[in-house]
Amino acid sequence: MTDNNKNAVIIFTRYPEIGKVKTRLAASIGNESAYLVHRILVEQTFRECLKLEEREFKLFVFYLDGKNEELFREWIDVRFLLCSQTGNNLGEKMSNAFRKIFGLGFDKVILLGTDIPDISKVFLSKSFFELEKNDVVIGPSNDGGYYLLGMNKFYPNIFDDIKWGTESVFEKTIDKIHENNLSYTTIDKLTDIDVKEDLLSWYELNKPNSENDLVEFVSTLEP
């Protein structure tokens, strides 16, 4: 790590395999279509992260299921550093990822998922800027959770006693931030694609943008 390389992005995702990704979405649009949605979303997230200046930002992919490391290495840009997720639930996995990356000497670390079609370099850059004056930055999602979490130090307590996968994740995380007397700010609320309704409502707002890969794909789905 160079002296300037003090910022890190952690991406949480899994390798795209038919029948193993976006299972809630697959229940209504089928396994193959859900796989394609997942792949489009992940690749878009990767592209936006790669727009960050290489001299200032390190990029890490924390992937689920350790057996897919070789497949990931064949798929993703060499700039991404691969790590496997560890922990018994999402909170533990995120906490362990932050602990690992801060342990490498980074000053500001942001973690994001890959279910957000509107993620962009703008949101990433804004998040790092906000960490100049706040302990925590968080990006709420439409389902009551969050798609992005950033810290300027490792604050493990904000992952404690959260019921992951529920509509109260964002609210309870804010409570934890307050309990630990941390300063924070939020960035724009974005749509998290979990089920067909999420996908279609996002599509209705974005279908004029025919050059978007996800818009183009959704337009081919049967009503």
Q: Has residue 2 got a pLDDT over 50?
A: no
Beta bridge partners of 111: 10, 149
Q: What is the C-alpha to C-alpha distance for residues 155 and 94, in angstroms, rounded to an integer? A: 11
How far from chain centre, in Å, is Cα 25? 18
Spell out the domain ranges in the chain.
7-193
Strand extents, DSSP E, the chain:
7-14, 57-64, 80-84, 108-112, 136-140, 146-151, 184-186
> 7-193 maps to which CATH number?
3.90.550.10
Computed over every residue of the chain, the mean pLDDT equals 93
What pLDDT, in 10s, does the model give residues 53-95? 999 999 999 998 767 788 899 999 999 999 999 999 999 999 9
Question: pLDDT for 94-139, tens place per residue?
Answer: 999 999 999 999 999 999 999 999 999 999 999 999 999 999 999 9
Q: How confident is the model at residue 210 (pLDDT cuts 50, 70, 90)?
A: confident
Q: Are 76 and 39 in contact (CB under 8 A)?
A: no
pLDDT of 121 reads: 96
Two tokens, residue 140: 């709420």
Give me the pLDDT at residue 1, please.
45
* DSSP-derived 3-state class of residue 70: helix
Packing angle, helices 121-130 and 31-50, rounded to 10: 60
